[in-house]
Each structure stands twice: as structure tokens, then as C-alpha cells.
Copies of this chain bind each other. A is one copy, B any other.
Amino acid sequence: MAVKRRRSSVSPPPQGCPLTTCMQFLKGAWTPNVIWYLRGGPRRFSELLADIPGVSPKVFSARLKRLERDGILTRHVMPTSPPTVEYSLTDLGHELTPAIDAIVQVGHKLKRRWIP
């Protein structure tokens, strides 16, 4: 015989799902890392590039561009020579930090669980 279909005991269907909404902003390689490193204040391109080993300039500038387009961070060119560019989180960007923090915390727990 067949099995009854159970209703979900958890939540409404993802029509305009908050989970999906938020994940859109965290999508793409290095995205959460950028937000993490900007939490402490504005930071320059080459600084971030060094903060996050392994990322290529191309991918990275694309990432920053998308983050700026999405309103997560702002780009500020300074009149130095050679010109330097500072990135900082917007208010919207700061709203994401609780999520990032939680992910980091879980990351720590996972590492403790794995290595021992």
C-alpha cells in the first residue's frame, strides 16, 4: 500500500522565501569572506586581495562589482597616486553580519568536530 503524504511541520512554502532571498546576497565565491573582512571598517582592493588568499583579481573585482550593485557595499576612490579605492559596507551590508557570524560560529564547531 501507499504512504500518506504528511504536511510539513516547519514553515510556509518559499514564495518569496526569506532563506532564498538572503542566500542570493551570499552567493558566489568569496562573497561571505568579503563581508567578513569589511565588518571591521573600510578596506582597499589589494588589502582584501591579501586577506583572502587564493582569489584572482578578475573574480574579485567582479564580486565587488556585484556586491556594490546589490547595495551591500560602496566604492570610494581616493585622490591619491596611484589612486586607491576603499570599500565599505552599507547599512544593508551590515544587516548581513548576523548571518555571517552564525556561519562562522558553526564553522568553528565543525572544525572542532572534525579534527579531534
Contact = CB atoms under 8 A, between A and B. Distances in A.
Interface of A is mostly: helix
A16 interface: yes
A33 B53 contact: no
Contacts of A3: 44, 78, 80, 84
Contact of A40 (B1, B10, B101): B10
Contact of A1 (B51, B80, B107): B80
Contacts of A107: 17-23
A53 B16 CA distance: 11
9 contacts: A1-B80, A2-B81, A6-B43, A9-B40, A10-B40, A14-B51, A15-B53, A19-B32, A22-B110
